[in-house]
Structure 1
Amino acid sequence: MKKLLSIVIITILFYACVGNDKIILKESIGKINKVMVVAKISDWTGDIGQEIRNSFGELMVGLPQPESILSVSQVAPTGFSSMMKASRNILVITEGEKENFLVKRNVYAQPQTVLYIQGKDDETIIKILKERKQEIRRIFLDSDIKFTQNIFAKEKLDDSKFATLRNLGVSLTIPEKFRTVKDTLNFLWLRNHLTSGIAKTGSNNILVYSFPIEDETTIADSIVSVRNKIGKMHIPGSDPEKMHMITEKAYTPFTFDAIIDGKKAYETRGKWEVKNDFMAGPFLNYTILDKKNNRIVVVEGFTYAPSVNKRAFLFELEAIAKSIKID
């Protein structure tokens, strides 16, 4: 009887492992915003590698220090070991008669994004890399956004406790490490005090507010003036009479079209500073057209982390902002 029971248990476990990828696949590894490139050394040291480094190495706009959009490392196909295959973001470059651009998920681990690019020669591969540069970067960045949001969702605040979010009919996936600075029914300010390294005197901040749509054609041009108005009203410096947050005058922000929660939006990246003070840092602003409710909803993140790189901090804020749901 015991022998029969053992056989039944082993059989069940066998079929469970074969039929369920989540059991078979190991957990992926790797830093956020980093891509492992699988390519021959001759390709990596040649024009193909240079094109990849140029594309992924373009500088993020809005940061005070030069930081690339994505970090990249390379491994030869012969060195693409089991440990390497567990990387979360992988770009595979191969030569073949047929051109190919293919994205697969969870090939060797999970969560994982593997992008395959194939061409008959260097020129063909470089052509694909150039023509689809924005798409390639967006594939890996979006994967990391989703990965980060899933982590935050495991230990998130109950956003229904915030009066402003309830009043605006808005929900966000907010990590537990954030604390309330201000919650007025119409304006929410959350802060996470950074605790690691020399950034421990800094903070990550989230803002949420709304205002009526007056002229849809001027929304993009008014983003800076609106955030300056909000800064004066709600974000004071050490001397509230003389100091408050403004958009840095010496740096023109970059604004791009975006889609947030299925709605037309504008993504603005730039630098903030405190008027009459020396505090400053990068910000990321999403101005969202909520036509159903005839209003603009704004979710913004800004970072204060002097003397350290800020890409990772701002990326966390981007993941939070893009989790917004508007009723």
Structure 2
Amino acid sequence: MKTFCKLSILLLIATIWVSCDGDYRQKARGGFGEAVVIMDSTEWKSETAEALRQTYGEGIATLPTLPLEPLFDLQFRDFKNNDELEQLKRFKNIIIAAPIDDSTNTAEWVRALLSDEVENQVRNGESFAFPLQNKWYKDQWTMILTAPTDTALARQIQNSEKTLTDNLFEKEFQRWNEEVYGQGEQVELSDSLWTNHGWKIRIQHDWIKNIDTTYTENGEESHFLTMRRVLPENNRWFWAWWKDDVQDISYLDDNWINSKRDSLMKKWIRGSRDSSYVTTEYGRPVETEVFEMDGDLTHETLGTWRMTKDAMGGPFVNFTIYDEEADRLFILEFGQHAPKFKKRRFVRQFRTMLRTFTSDSTWQAGATQARVEN
């Protein structure tokens, strides 16, 4: 092994971005949802290796597929010389894991990538995870994980599970954004939603709008819109409900979201039989995470739907968003029926597309006609 040159601490802490205009390197290789774990082969059954499998390789309970698809497909790899290392450095998602003072090639490489100051932080238990972007190739994500011992590193990984996986998800959503809209999008349709309804999402080139209506129920006015993308053996749909003048959301929780979703789908997302409609499959996990997106409170719900009176089902992704500035509540959902396909990649696409949602916080109910005329 040749001795590796150390990087400065600045390269490690700061995300390394190289503009597309000036970066002529090749793109990293590998598919969506794949990650290469570089670790000495003698440690593939270590506590750290098991923690990585439980964190990055955990089965996705909200998908209807059995056996469960993992969050990421992990490939454990080792290297014996620089040529093998150069091949590993070509991959799109790379996790480098080793105790800081091990004698393995991977540990030596970790020390070469860290400055002396950062090494001391690791030994003192102050830091253990160091993300890098586009380090050796374009569109590349790398995570260095190290600690004083195998047990300590495993514990750090387990205690930071969500932070670690969210860091990789952020990169994957960026990639899916380019993939989903790279073949074209309907900018005019998206702009019409903004003009007529005060919100929009980016729409792929072959989605078709169906329902677009305003209705009154229990004396309250609401709005509903649907779109579909029908392909051979892969039927996908999107629906959106929204309500103006919502000033109190104290009732908004997981139960309200799912109850409201079910009532809307019973009314609008019907099956081919008169008595059939889409509803939530509560026999499988339904999980909701709350975060802020562009300053708006957002609930993301993942789970499985089923068709009443029929043997059909599939995954769904739902965003419930409250725009406090405009007093508007939105519920948006993607669903899919594609029994012959694995579901993870499509759910990732749906999660990416919902993240393009934007609300016009200056919107005022009843102002649509004035906006159109202007």
The TM-score normalised by the length of structure 2 is 0.74
Which residue, 218, 230, 240 being the options, matches 1:193? 230
Rounded to whole Å, the distance in 1 between the matches of 2:302 and 2:69 is 14
1:75 and 2:112 equivalent? no
Which position in structure 1 is the counterpart of 2:198? 169
Rounded to whole Å, the distance in 2 between the matches of 1:250 and 1:214 is 34
Question: Which structure 2 segments of 5+ residues have no match?
Answer: 1-17, 102-118, 123-127, 215-222, 361-374
Contact 1:261 / 1:322 at 8 angstroms: preserved in 2? no
Which position in structure 1 is the counterpart of 2:7? none
Which residue, 223, 235, 238 being the options, matches 2:269? 235
Classify the secondary structure of the residue corresponding to 1:57.
coil
Which position in structure 1 is the counterpart of 2:258? 224
Question: Which structure 1 segments of 5+ residues have no match?
Answer: 1-17, 195-199
Contact 1:152 / 1:174 at 8 angstroms: preserved in 2? no
The TM-score normalised by the length of structure 1 is 0.84
- Structure 1 residues 148, 40: CA separation in 2 closer, same or farther (over 3 Å shift)? same
| Alpha-carbon offset, residue 138 of structure 1 | 0.8
| Alpha-carbon offset, residue 59 of structure 1 | 1.9
Rounded to whole Å, the distance in 2 between the matches of 1:214 and 1:276 is 38
Contact 1:156 / 1:173 at 8 angstroms: preserved in 2? no
More displaced 10-residue stretch of structure 1: 269-278 or 248-257: 248-257
1:318 and 2:351 equivalent? yes
| Alpha-carbon offset, residue 61 of structure 1 | 3.0
Higher helix share: 1
Alignment of 1:99-248 (within 5 A): 99=122, 100-161=128-189, 163-184=192-213, 186-194=223-231, 200-212=232-244, 213=246, 215-220=248-253, 221-239=255-273, 241-248=274-281
| Alpha-carbon offset, residue 82 of structure 1 | 3.5
- Structure 1 residues 237, 19: CA separation in 2 closer, same or farther (over 3 Å shift)? closer
| Alpha-carbon offset, residue 193 of structure 1 | 2.9
- Structure 1 residues 294, 21: CA separation in 2 closer, same or farther (over 3 Å shift)? closer
Rounded to whole Å, the distance in 1 between the matches of 2:284 and 2:194 is 31
Q: Deviations over 1:200-221 (max 9, x none)?
A: 4122222222124364122123
Which position in structure 2 is the counterpart of 1:96? 100
Aligned length: 304
Which residue, 301, 304, 325 being the options, matches 1:268? 301
Classify the secondary structure of the residue corresponding to 1:238.
coil
Which position in structure 2 is the counterpart of 1:299? 332
Q: Percent identity?
A: 20
Superposed CA RMSD in Å reads 2.4
Q: Deviations over 1:177-214 (max 9, x none)?
A: 323333337333222334xxxxx412222222212436
Q: Deviations over 1:106-142 (max 9, x none)?
A: 0111111111112222122212211221111111111
